Each structure stands twice: as structure tokens, then as C-alpha cells.
């Protein structure tokens, strides 16, 4: 049997590509023991990775800003070719190319039946919800690898209808595992619709995906805020307005010349808990973005919050922030009757429709996020450049299957 290689967290600022065992059709031991399940997983499939991406959520771990242990495998953005299926997999076969939502879901529990696959009850004994290669998410092996095991495969995997078309559009389709649905979820739950004015905080890949999704949803103006000039130029490349927060100016003052008023109809936080204050050299202030979007969201506005917030951050600025307790002006949001949507995006709620847009040539998300192909061996370099603020979405090609 062939082996496998996977990206591994080695300590703050360091990752490596290491050899490991070829995956088995088995549940992680903690999951099986925690739920009293058999280890054997005849409902699972093994994928040979076609594409797997570096995510900002991975970067939080690699910076040492979570409780991830040394040796944590990485990678939850998974697109691959089926190479093996268990006896209970009925509707997939070898050779199918599929997208795997980053949330692992059983398809059987109350949450899955309600479409809340980001908080499945049967895949992580520690809490609701699981993901591949992520801290406190059930011990599932990461997908920045050559091969990966996907449980409950008939439920979790989204099969692409045509293999040749899938390979042709793989740089777009690989975004379906996380950032395209996540960005769309942020915009959709914020209430973005025809004619909306929208503010998106953060011009990283998820922020760019949220901005692009806002355009798909019919927004009249999408404003993206960041302090990274290269990333702001990337937002401008597909028609967004931008505001440079490094100036230290009041956000409402920056928005007013663009939309003619100091508020917007909807706002999205695509930054999360490592937010900094405004102005050049501003220090970390984790509640900044949440307070910003409440400040510029009009009365009755929706606030989508796909940006990551954690319950354990050893590198936080104070003792409260280390447990995810930050200085949010909730009274302001309450007074303005805002509605908030937080948590993991339930990818399956959106991925099929977004796939259809890509296959019909109506969505070009890879261009919007500046998708950039690298090899598995180049993953450490990708992490380093991404951490420095590169305006790119790094797509790893572990098995040389992405067309030139």
C-alpha cells in the first residue's frame, strides 16, 4: 500500500511536510470511543487530493494563537478523486472528483437534519462540530496531504458532474470546500440583497470571497476595509470600493464619500479575533471589527461574522481575551436592532448552488481571491508568505493533477 504525506504544525511559525500512514476506512479513536461507535467506517471514502488550500484559520494555529498541539495535522479545504470506498458507500465510485465541506457531518443527527452541518452532534466528543486537521475538532487527519479519509461520504461529498470540466475549472471549484460558501454565508446572513450597500472588514481570502458573494447577491456597492495595500488592490480588481484603515480615520468618515451616508445596509466581519485597531502600527484589539460593523451598520442591519473567534488563545492581549471574552459594545448593536450570525458556515447549505454558478461560467472566485498554485513541498513557503500578508489564496497541488 502506498504511503501518505501531510502538512504538520511544528510550533509557532513552523510547518513541515511529513510522511504518515495511508489512511484507513476508520474513525479517529477519540470519536469512536466518545460515541461508543465501531472504529470501522464502511460509510467512508478515501480521496486522492486534487487540490487543497491554505486557510486563514490554519494560519491562526500556525501563529501559535490556538491550543493546537505540536504535531497537529493541517488542512480542511479538500477537493479530491475517489480512490476507495467502503461497503456502505452507495452513490460514489472510484474516479469521481468531489468537494468535501470542511465541516464533517454525520447526516443523521438533529443538527444535520436541520441543515446545521457545522455543528453536527456525532463527530466530535468535545463539542458540536468537527473539521479536518483542526484543533479541538475531533482528531480528524488534515487534508493538506496526498490522501485523506472522508467519513459519511455519501452525505459529505459533493460530486462534480463531469470529470474533464471539473479539472478545467478546478481552481474555482476548490474554493467550494470553505471560503466561497463561507464568504457567501457571511454576506447572505447579513441580508445582502439587490441594491444593498455593504461593508466587508478584511481583504484576506474570506473577505474577498464575501465581497465577491455580495456582488453575486446584487449589492450596489461593496466596500472592503483593510490595512494591507496589496490586498486592497486585489479587492479593487473585481470592482470593490476600498478604505485604507491604516490612516486611522474614523470608518464612517471613510464610508460617507462612497455611499453618501455614514452607514451601510449590511456588514461582514472577515477578520476575527486577531483584529488590530485602526492606524499605522495599531496594536491588537480583538473587538475592533465587531465594534466597527455595529458602528457603521444602519439600524436594523444584519451582521455576518464568518471571521474566527476562539475559546482558547494563549497569545491573546489579556486574560479575558485568552478565553474569547472581548470588549464588544453589545449595547450599541442592541440599540440598533442588529442581528448577528456567527459560527462555522454550514457548507452544504450553499456548495451545490455555488458549484452550479462556477460550472455555468457565472462565478470566477479563483480570480477574485488570486488563487495561486503551489506544490505540497512548497506548503511551508506558502504559509510564510501568507502570514506576511500576500494577496493570494494558496492552492496546494499534492499529486500534480491541476492542469497547467
Q: What is the pLDDT of residues 195-230, one digit of tens each?
A: 999 999 999 999 999 999 999 999 999 999 999 999
Cell (9 digits) for 230: 496589496
Going from N- to C-terminal start, the domains of the chain cover 4-178+348-397, 179-341
Q: Which residues of 279-314 are buried (b: 16+ CB within 10 A; e: fewer)?
A: eeeeeebbbbbbbbbbbbbbeebbbbbbbbbbeebe
Residue identified by cell 463539542 is 127
pLDDT of 363 above 80: yes
| Predicted pLDDT of residue 404 | 85
Question: Would strands 297-304 and 264-269 be described as parallel, antiparallel, or unpaired?
Answer: parallel
In CATH, which superfamily holds the domain spanning 4-178+348-397?
Medium-chain alcohol dehydrogenases, catalytic domain (3.90.180.10)
| Predicted pLDDT of residue 215 | 98
Phi and psi torsions of 326, nearest 5°: -125, 165
- In three-state secondary structure terms, 29 is helix
pLDDT of 162 above 70: yes
**Mean pLDDT throughout 44-69?**
96
**Mean pLDDT throughout 366-377?**
98
Q: What angle do CA 230, 236, 240 make, to 5 degrees?
A: 135
CATH of region 179-341: 3.40.50.720
pLDDT of 60 above 70: yes
**DSSP sequence for 189-241:** HTT--TT-EEEEE--SHHHHHHHHHHHHTT-SEEEEEES-HHHHHHHHTTT-E
Phi and psi torsions of 199, nearest 5°: -115, 125
Percent of the chain with pLDDT over 90: 99
pLDDT of 280 above 90: no
pLDDT of 402 above 60: yes
Cell (9 digits) for 113: 437534519
CB distance 393 to 29 below 8 Å: no
pTM of the full structure: 0.97
Cell (9 digits) for 301: 442591519
**Mean pLDDT throughout 98-121?**
98
Q: What rounded mean pLDDT belongs to the chain? A: 97
**Mean pLDDT throughout 246-261?**
97
Amino acid at each position: 500500500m502506498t504511503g501518505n504525506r501531510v502538512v504538520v504544525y511544528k510550533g509557532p511559525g513552523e510547518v513541515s511536510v511529513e510522511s504518515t500512514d495511508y489512511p484507513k476506512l476508520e474513525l479517529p479513536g477519540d470519536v469512536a470511543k466518545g460515541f461508543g461507535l465501531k472504529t470501522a467506517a464502511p460509510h467512508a471514502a478515501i480521496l486522492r487530493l486534487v487540490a487543497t488550500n491554505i486557510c486563514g484559520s490554519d494560519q491562526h494555529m500556525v501563529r501559535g494563537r490556538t491550543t493546537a498541539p505540536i504535531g497537529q495535522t493541517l488542512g480542511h479545504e479538500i477537493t479530491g478523486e475517489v480512490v476507495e470506498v467502503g461497503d456502505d458507500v452507495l452513490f460514489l465510485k472510484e474516479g469521481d472528483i468531489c468537494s468535501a465541506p470542511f465541516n464533517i457531518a454525520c447526516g443523521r443527527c438533529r443538527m444535520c437534519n436541520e441543515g446545521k452541518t457545522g455543528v453536527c452532534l456525532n463527530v466530535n466528543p468535545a463539542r458540536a462540530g468537527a473539521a479536518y486537521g483542526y484543533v479541538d475538532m475531533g482528531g480528524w487527519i488534515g487534508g493538506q496531504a496526498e490522501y485523506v479519509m472522508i467519513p459519511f461520504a455519501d452525505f459529505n461529498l459533493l460530486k462534480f458532474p463531469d470529470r474533464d470540466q471539473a479539472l478545467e475549472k478546478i481552481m474555482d471549484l476548490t474554493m467550494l470546500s470553505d471560503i466561497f460558501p463561507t464568504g457567501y454565508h457571511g454576506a447572505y446572513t447579513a441580508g445582502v440583497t439587490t441594491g444593498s450597500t455593504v461593508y466587508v472588514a478584511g481583504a484576506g481570502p474570506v473577505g474577498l470571497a464575501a465581497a465577491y458573494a455580495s456582488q453575486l447577491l446584487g449589492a450596489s456597492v461593496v466596500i472592503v476595509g483593510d490595512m494591507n495595500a496589496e490586498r486592497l488592490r486585489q479587492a479593487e480588481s473585481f470592482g470593490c470600493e476600498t478604505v485604507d484603515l491604516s490612516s486611522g480615520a474614523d470608518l464612517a468618515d471613510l464610508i460617507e464619500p462612497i455611499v453618501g451616508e455614514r452607514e451601510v445596509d449590511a456588514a461582514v466581519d472577515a477578520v476575527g479575533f486577531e483584529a488590530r485597531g485602526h492606524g499605522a502600527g495599531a496594536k491588537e484589539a480583538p473587538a475592533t471589527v465587531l465594534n466597527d460593523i455595529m458602528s457603521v451598520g444602519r439600524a436594523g442591519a444584519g451582521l455576518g461574522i464568518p471571521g474566527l473567534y476562539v475559546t482558547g488563545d494563549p497569545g491573546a492581549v489579556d486574560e479575558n481575551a485568552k478565553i474569547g471574552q472581548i470588549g464588544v459594545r453589545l449595547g450599541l448593536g442592541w440599540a440598533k436592532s442588529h442581528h448577528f450570525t456567527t459560527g462555522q458556515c454550514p457548507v452544504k447549505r450553499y456548495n451545490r448552488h455555488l458549484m452550479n454558478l462556477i460550472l455555468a461560467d457565472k462565478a470566477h472566485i479563483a480570480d477574485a481571491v488570486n488563487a495561486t498554485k503551489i506544490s505540497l513541498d512548497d506548503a511551508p513557503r506558502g504559509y510564510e508568505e501568507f502570514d506576511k500578508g500576500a494577496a493570494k489564496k494558496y492552492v496546494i497541488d499534492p499529486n500534480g493533477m491541476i492542469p497547467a
